Structure 1
Amino acid sequence: MSWLYQLYQTYEANRDEIGEIVFTNGDKEYTLLPISHTTQTAHIEVTVTEDGEFYHAKILDKESTVIPTTEESSSRSGKKIAPYPLHDKLSYVAGDFGERGGTKEPFQHYIKQLEEWVNSPFTNAKVESIYHYLSKKQLIADLVRAGIVALDENGNIIEKWHKKYENLFEEKPAIFSAVTDKQTSAFIRFNVYSPHDILEDVWKDKEVFQSYVDFYQTQLDEVDYCYVTGEQKPITERHANKIRNAADKAKIISSNDKTGYTFRGRFQTSSQAASISYEASQKAHNALKWLIQKQGIQIDGRVFLVWGNSKAKIIDPIADSFSLTAELGLEEIEHIDTLSHLANEVKKAIFNYRSNLTTEENNVNILILDAATTGRMGILYYRNMDKEMYFDRLQKWHSTCVWWHHYYNNEKKETVQFFGAPSLTNIAYGAYGEKANKKVIKAAMERLISCILDDRVIPKDIVTATFNRASNPVALEKWEWEKTLSIACALINKEEGHPLALDPSNHDRDYLFGRLLAVADVLERRVLDESGDKRATNAIRYMNTFAKYPAKTWKVIQECIQPYQARMGKRASYLSSLIDEIGAMIKFEDFNDESLSGKYLLGFYSQRRELYLPKEKNKDEENVG
């Protein structure tokens, strides 16, 4: 139950955020829900006066709305009658629904439940106004006059739109575009208007929230030991859904299977397996929903979430080093040019970040969850780590799995260039391709997280897959190949520990073969660019074969570049002499067709980057050119 307890503590530590509407980057609202509340997509907004009279109604563009709920209504399904306490579907809140072809029973249950709230010591003036209006049983009549609800020729509600109704209306009523199901399933939210004051919207009013919380607490009676808090409190067997979004039906905790083997055979009742208080369940699940909307990463339904308690936002292990510039106040990372420089900057930035955390912030939580079926969600990975260990592991990752990167950043919506570690998402796509199945990507990310947090070696199959794709540029678009190449170099460099800058003293066979390939590529590219030819060089075209049979393929590449050397004339002297110099460093016995390791990519990238770096013309190049 540690993950539940940590979420419970997060809720308690962020009570000031309860009910506060916050916007995501995509302009979607999210909030830390009060207990006994959930969210629902509303289709119609009905505004009444303080005196309980109809004032206005409008169709909404499927707006997410915070609504009070009961245990029964939060898990209602099928024909089960379980009204929400205030806002609900048209079939529940309309007292004249029975006169329009529907049944009276849902409204009877709804209005009785609302009356209990209004007559309790915890009533609220806005709730009373809504109750007085609905008690008049004229909602549908008012909505028809307002042009919101559509009736057939017999005065009954039209459930679904059909061409046969076209003669009754000049155009298709807007309500049928707003709801995806029957018109009777349109969800109604209520508001209150005052000619004297500007009132807070009912679904945002903290006084209304607290009024219902206080009232509903009096409705709970079964007390037992709570496995989360360790206290004797009213317990619940119905736990929240809508964890990832408003339409999510999957639950993490469920014990309603009384015919299968969820607990049968071991316990007589589900509470004997584990009893959780209503308060703890509500707070933990609401904190989880809030955190997912606030900072979680979702890929094909799988959630990757990292958080602290008093300071919910914690450095994300999935992100790349470029993202740390904003998170940590790190020096602009494109200005960092050596491994030791990067390591020192990351160490300093992380030290400053964690020193700003409160002394109570001793742990960091990492949670991965996904749904196996429509109704069941599982926790795939959970760690509660000491913050010192967590930041040490992050520091090591961002100081060792590094290379120069230059690619389009989806989050920043711009092309970025930086020296550091790639994001786990980009590593997964680098290994399996931009069009890979989302299930493959999220499974790879789950494995990679353990490489950071548990300081494990990167899985060999992921490194190999990335290496193979980087060695086959003709199968990829140029931007994707360049991105995959730098990611492959980062993964290989974590194992090898080579410096980023070109190392002329490195006599490793594979590294030298990579340098040869880079010089051949740059030489031909210069001639092609001068003529405006955008086709791939022979070095790039033969790269995949070169990785498998370097000696034999190099002979082919060298023959292919001779015409370009001739076209460049003296200007090719420096690059030609560099080819001779690198070739002479390869031992005679090493010049064979044994397949190249990932080191050749490091040599290729470093040599190519060295030749492309803007700098004053090399004196040696001047002398020979």
Structure 2
Amino acid sequence: MNWVASLCALYDANAERAGKAEKWKGKPLVLFPVGYDTMEAQIEIHIDQEGNYMGARVLEKEEAETLAPYPESRTSGPKALPLFDSLAYVAGDLLEAVTFYFSDAKNEKERQRKLARLKESFPRYLAGLKAWCESPFSHPKVRAIYRYVAKQTVAGDLIRSQVLGADENGIVSDKVKVQKTSLDKAFVRFRVFMNDELLPEDILGDPNNAHDSAVWLDRTVQNSFIDYYLSTFQTTDLCYMTGEHTPRAKTHPLKIRGKWDTKAKLISANDDTNFTYRGRFITKEKDTGYNEALSIGYVTSQKAHNALKWIIRRQGFSRDGVCIVAWENALRDLPDFYASAADILSRVTENAEDEAEFETEEEILLEEDEGEIPETNYASAAKFNAALDGYASKLSGISKMVVLALDSATPGRLAMTYYKELESSRYLKNLHQWHDSCAWKHEYIQDKKLKVYEGMASLREIALAVYGTEQGEDNNPQLKLSKNSDNKAPMLADVFERLRPCIIEGGAIPRDMVRAAVLKASNPLAYKGKFNYNKVLHIACSLVKRLYWEKQQRMESEGVILRMELDKTNRDRSYLYGRILAVAERVERATYEKGETRTTNAERYMQAFSRSPFRTWNTIWNNLQPYLKQLKPAAREYYKNLLGEITGLFEYKDRISNEFLDGKYLIGYDCQRTDLKRWPKEQPAPEGGHSSPEGTDEDHNNEEGEERR
């Protein structure tokens, strides 16, 4: 199945929603009927069923969105919409009632051209509306609108109702704005009040909104227009997407990713004068839309584009040039592949009937002397796996998943950069494999509370960690990505593009991305915020873990399953060097006074240490001696014994080698740091009877507070 067929199937499966205004997560959402789009209206006119004016009002921005017939994209020159349009088209008396200066015209010739265009607008609109009313598909509300606008009193009525006000000179001119929109471009919609005698149950039991005065919500009007417009096609052609002879589409819809997306098209081939089909095919005929190179049915194009618009607005991700949407064929709720494990788990918590089963968070204030994260603030991998199992249990045997990505290199062209269909069960399996193979403990702050989860961070967080830099005030620096002149973050799109196959298809992780993450995590001096550095470090650990997991799956000699907990039997050179670096950092930090924020020697030399560990360790060790002397004897002895224990695990040739450390040193570093933080609850006390190696709980708490800052 191709992408057009998938989207048409999505449209057909939800056809009963077409034209029906719904609420989705607190926002209005509508699946556009064939030939419809939304417009921002500034004026609403009220008439009765005989076409008599009853009143009008200016619309606020939050109520302005209007579903309107919009069969083909407008081209240059006057082209009226079938039902609702701007005042230039709807008001036949506009030139009589309003003074037009055309102050934006560059010269008299342009002013005359604008005036001629304005004169042509209303006759075109009225002729189109008349043709609809005289067709077998006419509608009473449409006939009422036709009778009203044919009187050519729209502008005068709006002036008398003070919807159109005078300027500072007392003249109603084109300088007047309606909701910051120029007067002639102010979009008009209609309410038609029918004189039907209805009971309350008739109105409540009206699924088509036929009794609603809002013409744009009346589904009987929508069906009337669709039938009428399809009857106007004189010829049919072969639709390359369905293989059937149907009315062909001359142009294709806009605003695919959002209301702001007013230029980019997915299907566009309107260059009939230059190089599009030179020497190969007959070029496209302007009047009929015939194209020997490609022909797409109008209904097919409308269904595919409207379904895509709807699903993007319903559950798509659009940010910094990235637009991704994934859906299950029955629209069952499935986790997003680009989300973090915490996001996926929180969605399950919100949607679950029994929220207590997935309760993972407890409101605990983050204070300087807070110890390890409590279990109530901790989302384990087991709970995440249970959440995925919950999704899987709701799937049917024929459940399919579609993942689609869009991007635009220029404002006028939209490209589909990724399209994948797969079984939903396989999608969940690959998603579980991604979070399991990358599983690490990640921290995030929510409502000023520190929380921890096991799994993988979101793709956006990965992009920030690997390619972002700290920006902002010194007391609150944030990781941010650099943006180009279009205000897009190219590296965010790159991360989505390259990691998407890893998650959805189980592909290999990009080696250069892993190297970049390791280099970033090896430079703690680049980060003022400890939270930011910990995020970078933990994401780097996740990527390194995934890399060696892949090698293990391919039965390579370097392949290994790296654990989140400290592995005291691991004799890998890089892993061991990471451990001794963590011990050195702990020793120095244990001597700091409360509130002291000095960088340790271990952090200062970390980058050099990763490149030349044996030589750099001698420097770190020498600088560590004054700090060891400040510790109590039992603590000093404990750390010396620990360093001796780690050093004893080295092969001699590995220890004296000055080859670069690989990413596993970050795994050893972070695991050892975490293990040392567990004093005094989980570790056995050193000889001498002290409850912690530093000798006092206060020292431990001071250090913990520093870590979180």
Same fold, TM exceeding 0.5? yes
Contact 1:546 1:554 in 2 (8 A): yes
Choose 93-102 or 261-270, whichever is displaced more.
261-270
Contact 2:573 2:654 in 1 (8 A): yes
Distance 1:188 1:62 in 2: 16
CA-to-aligned-CA distance 1:507-549 (integer Å, 9 cap, x gap): 1111111111212223333332x43212332222222222122
The residue number in structure 2 matching 1:165 is none
CA-to-aligned-CA distance 1:40-59 (integer Å, 9 cap, x gap): 22223333344431312114
CA-to-aligned-CA distance 1:2-39 (integer Å, 9 cap, x gap): 100100000111123323334455x5433211111011
1:575 to 1:49, Cα distance in 2 relative to 1, 3 A: farther
Structure 1 SS opposite 2:302: helix
The residue number in structure 1 matching 2:104 is none
Q: Larger % of helix: which?
A: 1
- Residue 178 of structure 1 pairs with residue 180 of structure 2: yes
Choose 330-339 or 84-93, whichever is displaced more.
330-339
* Equivalent of 1:116 in 113, 128, 131: 131
Distance 1:243 1:481 in 2: 38
CA-to-aligned-CA distance 1:131-157 (integer Å, 9 cap, x gap): 333222222223223333244589865
The residue number in structure 2 matching 1:134 is 149
Distance 2:402 2:461 in 1: 23
* Equivalent of 1:309 in 329, 344, 356: 329
Once the two structures are superposed, the pairs formed by residues 220-239 of structure 1 within 5 Å of their partners are: 220-239=233-252
Once the two structures are superposed, the pairs formed by residues 304-453 of structure 1 within 5 Å of their partners are: 304-311=324-331, 313-326=333-346, 342=381, 349-361=387-399, 363-408=400-445, 416-433=451-468, 434-437=480-483, 438-453=489-504
Contact 1:226 1:232 in 2 (8 A): yes
The residue number in structure 2 matching 1:18 is 18
The residue number in structure 1 matching 2:222 is 209
* Equivalent of 2:673 in 598, 608, 613: 608
User: CA offset at residue 183 of structure 1?
Assistant: 2.7
Contact 1:239 1:253 in 2 (8 A): yes
User: CA offset at residue 236 of structure 1?
Assistant: 1.3
Distance 1:572 1:22 in 2: 65
Structure 1 SS opposite 2:342: helix
The residue number in structure 1 matching 2:601 is 538
The residue number in structure 1 matching 2:37 is 38
User: CA offset at residue 415 of structure 1?
Assistant: 5.1
Contact 1:404 1:419 in 2 (8 A): yes
Contact 1:30 1:294 in 2 (8 A): yes
Structure 2 SS opposite 1:137: coil
Distance 1:414 1:572 in 2: 32
Structure 2 residue identity aligned to 1:582: I
The residue number in structure 2 matching 1:555 is 618
Contact 2:378 2:453 in 1 (8 A): no
The residue number in structure 2 matching 1:482 is 534
Structure 2 SS opposite 1:7: helix
The residue number in structure 2 matching 1:166 is none
User: CA offset at residue 185 of structure 1?
Assistant: 1.5
Structure 2 SS opposite 1:235: coil
Contact 1:252 1:376 in 2 (8 A): yes
User: CA offset at residue 291 of structure 1?
Assistant: 1.0
Query: Mind listing any 5+ residue stretches in structure 2 that lack a counterpart?
Result: 101-114, 199-210, 285-290, 362-374, 469-479, 484-488, 549-560, 691-709
User: CA offset at residue 413 of structure 1?
Assistant: 9.6
Distance 2:221 2:41 in 1: 18
The residue number in structure 2 matching 1:169 is none
Structure 1 residue identity aligned to 2:538: S
Distance 2:2 2:505 in 1: 19
Structure 1 SS opposite 2:40: strand
The residue number in structure 2 matching 1:77 is 75
Contact 2:431 2:503 in 1 (8 A): yes
1:568 to 1:461, Cα distance in 2 relative to 1, 3 A: same
1:296 to 1:407, Cα distance in 2 relative to 1, 3 A: same
Structure 1 SS opposite 2:258: coil
Contact 2:193 2:213 in 1 (8 A): no
The residue number in structure 1 matching 2:106 is none
Structure 2 residue identity aligned to 1:105: E
CA-to-aligned-CA distance 1:224-243 (integer Å, 9 cap, x gap): 22222333322212111110
1:619 to 1:355, Cα distance in 2 relative to 1, 3 A: closer
1:272 to 1:55, Cα distance in 2 relative to 1, 3 A: same
Structure 2 SS opposite 1:207: helix
Distance 2:333 2:688 in 1: 57
Once the two structures are superposed, the pairs formed by residues 487-498 of structure 1 within 5 Å of their partners are: 487-496=539-548, 497-498=561-562
Distance 1:413 1:63 in 2: 35
User: CA offset at residue 107 of structure 1?
Assistant: 1.0
Distance 2:158 2:646 in 1: 83
- Residue 566 of structure 1 pairs with residue 629 of structure 2: yes
The residue number in structure 2 matching 1:168 is none
Structure 1 residue identity aligned to 2:532: E
1:130 to 1:308, Cα distance in 2 relative to 1, 3 A: same
- Residue 87 of structure 1 pairs with residue 84 of structure 2: yes
User: CA offset at residue 253 of structure 1?
Assistant: 0.8
CA-to-aligned-CA distance 1:45-102 (integer Å, 9 cap, x gap): 333344431312114327552433344xx42134x11111122111111121121345
The residue number in structure 2 matching 1:597 is 662
Structure 1 residue identity aligned to 2:147: H
The residue number in structure 1 matching 2:585 is 521
CA-to-aligned-CA distance 1:174-208 (integer Å, 9 cap, x gap): x2x522xx332122222235798883533233233
Structure 2 residue identity aligned to 1:577: N
Contact 1:49 1:192 in 2 (8 A): yes
1:417 to 1:355, Cα distance in 2 relative to 1, 3 A: same
User: CA offset at residue 506 of structure 1?
Assistant: 0.8
User: CA offset at residue 217 of structure 1?
Assistant: 2.1
Query: Mind listing any 5+ residue stretches in structure 1 that lack a counterpart?
Result: 162-172
- Please provide the CA RMSD for this pair: 3.1
CA-to-aligned-CA distance 1:376-420 (integer Å, 9 cap, x gap): 1111121222334333322221211221100247xx997542100
Structure 1 residue identity aligned to 2:137: F
1:538 to 1:153, Cα distance in 2 relative to 1, 3 A: closer
Structure 2 SS opposite 1:601: helix
Contact 1:235 1:277 in 2 (8 A): yes
1:50 to 1:366, Cα distance in 2 relative to 1, 3 A: same
1:566 to 1:153, Cα distance in 2 relative to 1, 3 A: closer
The residue number in structure 2 matching 1:167 is none
Structure 1 residue identity aligned to 2:135: S
TM-score, normalization by structure 2: 0.78
Contact 1:467 1:598 in 2 (8 A): yes
Distance 2:44 2:617 in 1: 72
Distance 1:360 1:67 in 2: 35
1:551 to 1:234, Cα distance in 2 relative to 1, 3 A: same
User: CA offset at residue 312 of structure 1?
Assistant: 6.1
The residue number in structure 2 matching 1:187 is 187
* Equivalent of 2:685 in 616, 620, 623: 620
Choose 240-249 or 195-204, whichever is displaced more.
195-204
Contact 1:58 1:148 in 2 (8 A): yes
Choose 461-470 or 230-239, whichever is displaced more.
230-239
1:618 to 1:385, Cα distance in 2 relative to 1, 3 A: closer
Contact 1:39 1:64 in 2 (8 A): no
Structure 2 SS opposite 1:445: helix
